[in-house]
Amino acid sequence: MTEIARILDQMDRAYTGDAWHGPSLLRILEGLTAESASKHSIPGAHSIWELVNHIAAWNNIVRHELGGEVVEISTEKDWPPVWEASEVAWKRSLETLAESRRRLRKAVEELRDDQLDEKPVARADHSRYLMLHGLVQHDLYHAGQIALLKKANA
Protein backbone atom coordinates (compact mmCIF):
# COMPACT_ATOMS: atom_id res chain seq x y z
CA MET A 1 0.00 0.00 0.00
CA THR A 2 1.34 3.44 -0.88
CA GLU A 3 1.51 6.27 1.64
CA ILE A 4 -1.04 8.21 -0.43
CA ALA A 5 -3.40 5.23 -0.13
CA ARG A 6 -2.86 5.18 3.64
CA ILE A 7 -3.60 8.90 3.93
CA LEU A 8 -6.74 8.51 1.82
CA ASP A 9 -7.80 5.64 4.05
CA GLN A 10 -7.41 7.81 7.15
CA MET A 11 -9.29 10.68 5.50
CA ASP A 12 -12.11 8.33 4.54
CA ARG A 13 -12.32 6.74 7.99
CA ALA A 14 -12.53 10.13 9.69
CA TYR A 15 -15.10 11.50 7.24
CA THR A 16 -17.34 8.61 6.19
CA GLY A 17 -16.78 5.81 8.62
CA ASP A 18 -15.16 2.76 10.02
CA ALA A 19 -12.89 4.78 12.27
CA TRP A 20 -11.68 2.92 15.34
CA HIS A 21 -12.28 5.90 17.62
CA GLY A 22 -16.04 6.02 17.04
CA PRO A 23 -18.49 7.55 14.60
CA SER A 24 -17.26 9.42 11.54
CA LEU A 25 -17.97 13.09 10.95
CA LEU A 26 -20.84 12.32 8.57
CA ARG A 27 -22.39 9.91 11.04
CA ILE A 28 -22.22 12.51 13.80
CA LEU A 29 -23.94 15.03 11.51
CA GLU A 30 -26.81 12.67 10.67
CA GLY A 31 -30.22 13.86 11.76
CA LEU A 32 -29.18 17.37 12.73
CA THR A 33 -31.61 20.14 11.90
CA ALA A 34 -30.72 23.71 11.06
CA GLU A 35 -32.06 24.79 14.44
CA SER A 36 -29.88 22.35 16.35
CA ALA A 37 -26.82 23.01 14.17
CA SER A 38 -27.08 26.76 14.68
CA LYS A 39 -27.36 26.69 18.50
CA HIS A 40 -24.64 28.18 20.66
CA SER A 41 -25.21 25.93 23.65
CA ILE A 42 -21.80 26.70 25.16
CA PRO A 43 -21.10 30.42 25.64
CA GLY A 44 -18.17 31.55 23.54
CA ALA A 45 -18.01 28.28 21.58
CA HIS A 46 -18.77 27.81 17.92
CA SER A 47 -21.99 26.19 16.77
CA ILE A 48 -22.05 22.87 14.93
CA TRP A 49 -22.87 24.77 11.76
CA GLU A 50 -19.87 27.07 12.17
CA LEU A 51 -17.66 24.03 12.73
CA VAL A 52 -19.00 22.37 9.57
CA ASN A 53 -18.27 25.51 7.56
CA HIS A 54 -14.78 25.68 9.10
CA ILE A 55 -13.99 22.06 8.21
CA ALA A 56 -15.16 22.64 4.62
CA ALA A 57 -13.05 25.80 4.44
CA TRP A 58 -9.92 23.94 5.50
CA ASN A 59 -10.59 21.17 3.00
CA ASN A 60 -10.48 23.90 0.34
CA ILE A 61 -7.48 25.73 1.81
CA VAL A 62 -5.42 22.54 2.01
CA ARG A 63 -6.45 21.48 -1.50
CA HIS A 64 -5.24 24.79 -2.91
CA GLU A 65 -2.02 24.73 -0.90
CA LEU A 66 -1.28 21.15 -1.94
CA GLY A 67 -1.12 22.51 -5.48
CA GLY A 68 1.26 25.31 -4.52
CA GLU A 69 -1.24 28.14 -4.28
CA VAL A 70 -0.71 30.58 -1.43
CA VAL A 71 -4.02 31.10 0.35
CA GLU A 72 -4.49 34.25 2.39
CA ILE A 73 -6.45 33.11 5.41
CA SER A 74 -8.78 35.81 6.67
CA THR A 75 -11.12 35.31 9.62
CA GLU A 76 -14.05 34.94 7.22
CA LYS A 77 -12.18 32.37 5.13
CA ASP A 78 -11.14 30.45 8.26
CA TRP A 79 -14.59 30.61 9.90
CA PRO A 80 -17.19 31.23 7.18
CA PRO A 81 -20.24 32.77 8.82
CA VAL A 82 -23.71 31.31 8.96
CA TRP A 83 -25.83 33.95 7.27
CA GLU A 84 -29.22 32.31 7.39
CA ALA A 85 -30.34 29.52 9.73
CA SER A 86 -32.80 27.72 7.48
CA GLU A 87 -33.05 24.06 6.51
CA VAL A 88 -32.15 24.98 2.93
CA ALA A 89 -29.02 26.84 4.05
CA TRP A 90 -28.05 23.95 6.40
CA LYS A 91 -28.42 21.46 3.56
CA ARG A 92 -26.27 23.75 1.39
CA SER A 93 -23.54 23.81 4.07
CA LEU A 94 -23.58 20.00 4.23
CA GLU A 95 -23.35 19.84 0.44
CA THR A 96 -20.46 22.31 0.50
CA LEU A 97 -18.69 20.09 3.04
CA ALA A 98 -19.23 17.02 0.85
CA GLU A 99 -18.03 18.81 -2.28
CA SER A 100 -14.96 20.23 -0.54
CA ARG A 101 -14.07 16.73 0.66
CA ARG A 102 -14.62 15.22 -2.79
CA ARG A 103 -12.33 17.80 -4.41
CA LEU A 104 -9.68 17.41 -1.71
CA ARG A 105 -9.76 13.64 -2.04
CA LYS A 106 -9.32 13.91 -5.81
CA ALA A 107 -6.33 16.23 -5.34
CA VAL A 108 -4.74 13.78 -2.90
CA GLU A 109 -5.36 10.86 -5.29
CA GLU A 110 -3.35 12.75 -7.92
CA LEU A 111 -0.29 13.07 -5.66
CA ARG A 112 2.65 10.69 -5.71
CA ASP A 113 4.39 9.43 -2.58
CA ASP A 114 7.62 11.22 -3.58
CA GLN A 115 5.77 14.57 -3.38
CA LEU A 116 4.76 14.14 0.26
CA ASP A 117 8.04 15.47 1.70
CA GLU A 118 7.87 18.63 -0.42
CA LYS A 119 6.74 21.97 0.99
CA PRO A 120 4.18 23.05 -1.62
CA VAL A 121 3.90 26.68 -0.52
CA ALA A 122 6.94 28.91 -0.05
CA ARG A 123 5.70 30.34 3.27
CA ALA A 124 4.79 26.91 4.65
CA ASP A 125 7.00 25.30 7.24
CA HIS A 126 5.39 21.92 6.70
CA SER A 127 5.36 19.26 4.02
CA ARG A 128 2.37 17.85 2.17
CA TYR A 129 2.66 14.82 4.44
CA LEU A 130 2.25 16.92 7.60
CA MET A 131 -0.43 19.03 5.97
CA LEU A 132 -2.57 15.99 5.13
CA HIS A 133 -2.11 14.23 8.45
CA GLY A 134 -2.77 17.53 10.18
CA LEU A 135 -6.02 17.92 8.28
CA VAL A 136 -7.20 14.48 9.40
CA GLN A 137 -6.35 15.43 12.99
CA HIS A 138 -8.11 18.78 12.55
CA ASP A 139 -11.27 17.13 11.25
CA LEU A 140 -11.33 14.58 14.07
CA TYR A 141 -10.79 17.29 16.69
CA HIS A 142 -13.78 19.22 15.37
CA ALA A 143 -15.84 16.04 14.92
CA GLY A 144 -15.39 15.44 18.64
CA GLN A 145 -16.57 18.98 19.38
CA ILE A 146 -19.59 18.45 17.14
CA ALA A 147 -20.44 15.18 18.90
CA LEU A 148 -20.41 16.93 22.28
CA LEU A 149 -22.44 19.89 21.00
CA LYS A 150 -24.96 17.52 19.46
CA LYS A 151 -25.48 15.89 22.87
CA ALA A 152 -25.72 19.30 24.55
CA ASN A 153 -28.32 20.42 21.99
CA ALA A 154 -30.49 17.31 22.35
Domain residue ranges of the chain, discontinuous segments joined by +: 3-153
Give which of 25, 31, 27, 28 is closest to 11, Cα–Cα.
Answer: 25
Task: Identify the band that residue 124 occupies on the pLDDT scale cut at 50, 70 and 90.
Answer: low
Give which of 64, 70, 32 is closest to 149, Cα–Cα.
Answer: 32
- Whole-model pTM: value is 0.95
Task: Identify the band that residue 123 occupies on the pLDDT scale cut at 50, 70 and 90.
Answer: low
What is the percent of the chain with per-residue pLDDT over 90, rounded to a whole number?
A: 84
CATH 1.20.1560.10 fits 3-153, yes or no: no
Residues in the chain, overall count: 154
